[in-house]
Chain A
Amino acid sequence: MKHKHYLFILVFIGIAVTLSACAGGVTTATSWPGLTVDDQYAYVAYNTQVYAVDLINGSERWRYPAEPDNKITFYADPSLSQDGQLIVGGYDYALYSLNAETGTQNWVFSDAENRYIASSLIQEENIFAPAADENLYSLDLNGRLQWTFSSEGESWAQPIIDDNCKCLFLPTMDHTVYAIDPQNGTQKWRSPKLGGAIVGTPAYNKDGVLYVGTFGGKLFALKAEDGSIIWEFSTADDGWIWSGPTLSNGVAYFGDLDGYFYAVDADNGSQIWQLPPEQLDGEIVGSPLVIEDSIYITTEAGILFKLDTAGRIQWSQTIGGKIYTSPKAANDLILVTPIQIDELLVAVNQDGVRQWSFIPAE
């Protein structure tokens, strides 16, 4: 009888462990890497560590924390301040300030009650950190709370700021964009419901127009002064737009989860051209990178494409794994962060030739 008790306990423990495995442990990646660059280093936040990688040869400069802690994970794009801080939000509800040179910890802000999925915005002496607890926290550079703005939805996207009107635009998953006074956190306006969650950072032009992609399969142009809709553009099959568009020379470039890629006239919302999924092979999650007349986009199939502004594919480079993060430019390099392969960061030149890759040492 006693043995049967033990057997029962063992069976139950076995089932509990199996279910825990199905649910995914804390070290299972729950997002894709965050990536930020300056002129010397790329900073990659992924899973249990943040890495500083030398842009010359892809060698590791430092990592934080030195030993991984399964309870602390990072996925948001880190943000750099002018005084040399690297601000990165964690899934442990904490916002970390690291010394960008050395990777040592400056301070930790722990008031949030949910994850930091979005990247923080740093503007002069202020840090604007949206958390998934539906709050936007404004801190000074020493990590002291200045004000808190509560919205009605989680924010997974970095806010943007307009210096002219002193407006901070916060996209949220409650299908709206908020305009907030960055001085005191009061709401200036709230856009109408846009038909779907907004998880990408909007693009903003100096003419006072905000471009917002939504899960409702629409790109909206909003008036920055009051949030009213100027025009809207629908994707081919109502494909959900994950990341915000990139503006260049009056054109908004963006992709959708059905794998279409669009160039839309920023003035009136008319389509200039589109590339169908057959040509790009996979969902497009990240925003495109536009450098002069070249457009770089990544797809879930792990491929980096270079297009010209007429929508012609110049080259494609298979990186491997899956790519959801937007490509970033650093000096003459294009950086991408695949997942599900050993390489965490891959650098190619502007002809698509691989220059180096970074594989974190165990």
Chain B
Amino acid sequence: MDIGAIWSTIILNPMINSLMWIYSGLAQNFGLAIIVFTILVRLITYPLTASQIKSTKSMQEMQKSKKWQDIQKKHKGDREKLAKEQMDLYKEMGVSPFGSCLPTVIQFPVIIGLYQAIIRALAVTPIQLLELTRHIYPFYNAAALIPLNNYFLWLDLSLPEKDYGIAIAGFTIPILAVLVMATTFLQSRLMTPPSTTGDQGANMGRMMNLYMPLFMGYLAYSFPSGLALYFVTSNLVGILQYGIMGKLDWRNLLPERFSSGSKTSK
């Protein structure tokens, strides 16, 4: 079995069929199917999200510790030595340096799979439709569902917003892209853990907060709107999950000069 077949069996086929099954039960509305499916995916991957938050918190606490600060000062000019000492401290405090990013890495195939599943399920060309027939499980009547209704609100879920959106003077107003950018920004700001000014992690976080919404907005504008709907839903569910866990910090939305110095995580 080649890698493509394994990917299809484990990731793609279950996703496509789940989406279509949900679609059949939701008045054949693919927009609602994407929303419900995204919520289910976020719930299923919740243990990964929780583990990521826990690891990030442990890492933050360790970086605030006196030992960590001492190591930074002591080996400021010797990167090799600094790295070795940091690794020793990770071991000593039982913190995995990859603990916070591993869950994200594991979620990446889910995002790619969902992206492929949405594109394939909507099948707008003969090759795509023929390809879709190979992914369908036999235990439900998929023929009755095809073609899927790809309209939701003002969206054509199979096309990028730039191809059909409301245009003024030849420029398409990127409503969905703006929503994606706004929710990505909100999510990244609200979920950013408190940090000490000047530390490397905080700098990285600030750059992510700056570029990630723009990047996601670009994807939302250029790729089929079904994917953008997934982004918006996923961001909102993510914020909600963090809120339920008591991890949101609304003061992060304020400019840093107003919020620094008094941040505490709930």
Are B127 and A31 in contact, with the CB atoms below 8 A?
Answer: yes
Task: State how many residues of chain A have any CB contact under 8 Å with chain B.
Answer: 40
Q: Which of B115, B119, B146, B211 contacts A196 (CB 8 A)?
A: B146
Are B125 and A240 in contact, with the CB atoms below 8 A?
Answer: no
Knowing A9-B211, A196-B146, the reply to whether A75 touches B126 (Cβ < 8 A) is: yes
Q: Is A312 an interface residue (CB 8 A)?
A: no
Instruction: With both chains docked as a complex, state the minimum distance between the C-beta of B12 and any C-beta of chain A, in angstroms.
Output: 12
Q: A196 to B143, alpha carbons, bound, how many Å?
A: 5
Q: Is B242 an interface residue (CB 8 A)?
A: no
Are A29 and B215 in contact, with the CB atoms below 8 A?
Answer: no
Q: Is A215 an interface residue (CB 8 A)?
A: yes
Which residues in A have their C-beta under 8 angstroms from that of B119? Answer: 23
Are B147 and A117 in contact, with the CB atoms below 8 A?
Answer: no
Which residues in A have their C-beta under 8 angstroms from that of B126? Answer: 30-32, 75, 117, 156, 199, 324
Q: Which residue of B lies closest to A174 (CB)?
A: B147
Q: Is A192 an interface residue (CB 8 A)?
A: no
Q: Which residue of A lies closest to B214 (CB)?
A: A12
Which residues in B have their C-beta under 8 angstroms from that of A122? Answer: none
Q: Is A195 an interface residue (CB 8 A)?
A: yes
Q: Which of A9, A20, A115, A285 contacts B130 (CB 8 A)?
A: A285
Knowing A4-B203, A154-B147, the reply to whether A19 touches B223 (Cβ < 8 A) is: yes
Are B207 and A195 in contact, with the CB atoms below 8 A?
Answer: no
Contact with B along A262-283 (1 / 0, CB 8 A): 0000000000000000000001
Instruction: With both chains docked as a complex, state the minimum distance between the C-beta of B183 and any C-beta of chain A, in angstroms.
Output: 18
Q: A195 to B119, alpha carbons, bound, how many Å?
A: 24
Instruction: With both chains docked as a complex, state the minimum distance between the C-beta of B22 and any C-beta of chain A, in angstroms.
Output: 20
Instruction: With both chains docked as a complex, state the minimum distance between the C-beta of A226 and any C-beta of chain B, in angstroms.
Output: 24
Q: Is A165 an interface residue (CB 8 A)?
A: no
Are B125 and A117 in contact, with the CB atoms below 8 A?
Answer: yes
Which residues in A have their C-beta under 8 angstroms from that of B218? Answer: 16
Q: Dominant SS at the B interface?
A: helix
Contact with A along B176-215 (1 / 0, CB 8 A): 0000000000000000000000000001100110010011
Are A30 and B223 in contact, with the CB atoms below 8 A?
Answer: no
Are A4 and B207 in contact, with the CB atoms below 8 A?
Answer: yes
Which residues in A have their C-beta under 8 angstroms from that of B211? Answer: 8-9, 12
Are A240 and B207 in contact, with the CB atoms below 8 A?
Answer: no
Task: State how many residues of chain B have any CB contact under 8 Å with chain A.
Answer: 27
Are B207 and A197 in contact, with the CB atoms below 8 A?
Answer: no
Are B125 and A195 in contact, with the CB atoms below 8 A?
Answer: no
Are A22 and B112 in contact, with the CB atoms below 8 A?
Answer: yes
Q: Which of A19, A23, A132, A215 contacts B124 (CB 8 A)?
A: A132
Q: Is A15 an interface residue (CB 8 A)?
A: yes
Q: Which of B127, B144, B203 contacts A29 (CB 8 A)?
A: B127
Which residues in A have their C-beta under 8 angstroms from that of B143? Answer: 195-197, 214-217, 238, 240
Which residues in A have their C-beta under 8 angstroms from that of B208? Answer: 8
Q: Is A206 an interface residue (CB 8 A)?
A: no
Which residues in A have their C-beta under 8 angstroms from that of B133? Answer: 240, 257
Are B207 and A8 in contact, with the CB atoms below 8 A?
Answer: yes
Knowing A1-B203, A9-B211, the reply to whether A153 touches B219 (Cβ < 8 A) is: no
Q: A215 to B136, alpha carbons, bound, how many Å?
A: 13
Knowing A30-B125, A215-B143, A215-B146, the reply to whether A16 touches B219 (Cβ < 8 A) is: yes
Which residues in A have their C-beta under 8 angstroms from that of B112? Answer: 22
Are B127 and A30 in contact, with the CB atoms below 8 A?
Answer: yes
Q: Is B17 an interface residue (CB 8 A)?
A: no
Which residues in B have their C-beta under 8 angstroms from that of A37? Answer: none
Contact with B along A1-23 (1 / 0, CB 8 A): 10011001100100110011011
Which residues in A have their C-beta under 8 angstroms from that of B146? Answer: 173, 196-197, 215
Contact with B along A110-144 (1 / 0, CB 8 A): 00000101000000000000001000000000000
With A4-B204, A4-B207 already in contact, 18 other A-B pairs whose C-beta atoms are closer than 8 Å = A8-B211, A12-B211, A22-B112, A30-B125, A30-B126, A30-B127, A30-B128, A31-B125, A31-B126, A115-B125, A117-B125, A173-B147, A197-B143, A197-B147, A240-B143, A257-B133, A283-B130, A324-B126
List the 5 closest A-B pairs by CB distance, nearest first.
A30-B125, A196-B143, A215-B143, A31-B126, A12-B215
